[in-house]
Amino acid sequence: MNPELREWLPQVRSITVLTGAGVSAESGIPTFRDAQTGHWAQHDPMALASPEGFEQDPRTVWRWYQWRRELIARNHPNPAHTALAELENLVEHFTLVTQNVDGFHQLAGSNRVLELHGNIQRNICSQTRQTIADRWISDHRDHEPPPSPHHPRGLARPDVVWFGEALDTAVLQTAFEAAASCELMIVAGTSGTVQPAASLPAMAAENGARLLDINPETGPISALADWHLDGPAATWLPRLVDCLTTP
């Protein structure tokens, strides 16, 4: 690890973290497009992840997400997730912003999580966007998708942001505020090309934060970062925690 980073890290009181698909991939969770294998490779991504696709063929879209949920259920958080949960308790101000929808950060113990793209484990009404309880989904599992309890024409759909949909403005605003006010921003497992998340590191840098990029490959964020750690987040994040816990 960079000696300057190792020496400076214990002084930091405010950290914002941005995680992407690479962190989930280390748990065996394929990215959205990588998951389109076998039968699902025959389907247009827009048809599987857009309001229009759901309206045209809700049964197929529901089955696609049920299949992805089963993939997630067979896997577990990795050391990167665990390290971030520990890091949350080691600094005064901590915010974790994720583009991932698997819920592994919370499962690993993180509490201050902003989910930019939603969470695949939750369901909402297609008409009102109200949350639908897991018990309701279970009681109506013979329907694909289950009907919504909140609207006569509503159907259950995953609580994720689809193509053509806007991110939650409150979540996004809080993420930008966390980026603008932190001393250190850690970017792990994301290429930094998907907007608006890709703007968060730039926002942090413009407001005086130092940037740490953790990724097996270099990208736009690497060029902006003060430090780049070449390798998986599951390797480097536990080492960062060790810097704060080992005398």
Residues designated as active site: 117
Locate tokens 């060029």: which residue? Answer: 223
Burial of residue 41, with CB atoms counted within 10 A of its CB: 0-12 exposed, 13-18 middle, 19 or more buried? exposed
Q: What is the C-alpha separation between 100 and 203, in angstroms, rounded? A: 20
Report the Cα 39 to chain-centroid distance in Å.
26
**Distance, C-alpha 136 to centroid of its chain:** 26
Structural element, H or E, at residue 212: strand 210-214
> Residue 211 to residues 1, 15, 35, 86, 205: CA-CA distances in angstroms?
15, 10, 31, 20, 7
* Look-up of token digits 């698997």: 102
